Amino acid sequence: MHTLFAALGLSVLLANSPTAFMLVKYIGAAYLCYLGFKMLTSKNSNSIANSLSKAQNVTNQKAVDGWKIYQQGVLTNVFNPKVALFFLAFFPQFIDASYDYGMLSFLMLGLTFATTGFIWCLCLALLAARFSTRLRENPFIETMLNRISGMVFIGLGIKLLTEKA
């Protein structure tokens, strides 16, 4: 998303408009705090231990939960103004300003970046999935991880709100 935004010039708008930057920053911080609050107040309805007797529902629930997790990740990333500024500051160093098809170069560089990031995250997710299955079987550990994650998300949201551009 940020590669496309940067190629279309939206990152320049974000960098040059304090109002747009602050709006994205506040939305992102509020969303992080919302996710953190949800984690702090959640019941262990998603735990494997509580759902073992409902094998068919577990399969459907995992698909829905995976989609929700993906959506949360996309929203968190899109509303992080620092990622947009990173793309604005980092990518242009590798693009020839005199090249007639600069947008195409920007998109190719972004696609390369996204592909390598995807491969890394896929490997990380596969390894984490093996480890997390054991953790999710214990409702106490799941509750503690949700609480800790919730506090971290709220802390990150507050830090984002209190930081200067």
State the chain's maximal CA–CA distance in angstroms. Answer: 64
Q: Report the alpha-carbon distance of residue 19 to residue 132 in Å, rounded.
A: 41
pLDDT > 80? residue 6: no
Q: What is the 3-state secondary structure (H, E, C) of 55-92?
A: HHHHHHHHHHHHHHHHHHHHHHHHCCHHHHHHHHHHHH
Q: Are 57 and 117 in contact (CB under 8 A)?
A: no
| Structural tokens at position 157 | 């949201």
**Short-list 150, 162, 28, 151, CA closest to 82:** 28
If pLDDT is split at 50, 70 and 90, which confidence band does 11 have? low
CA-based nearest residue to 83, from 1, 8, 151, 164: 1
Dump pLDDT digits (tens) for 58-88: 444 555 577 888 888 888 777 776 677 677 6
pLDDT tens sequence across 136-161: 777 888 888 889 999 999 998 898 88
C-alpha dist (Å) from residue 135 to 30, 114, 126, 153, 154: 29, 30, 15, 20, 23
Distance (Å, rounded) from C-alpha 154 to C-alpha 159? 8
- Closest by CA to 121, choosing from 110, 113, 109, is 113
With 0.75 as the threshold, say if the pTM is over it.
Answer: no
Q: How many Å apart are CA 21 and CA 82, to the nearest integer?
A: 9
CA distance 137 to 47: 7
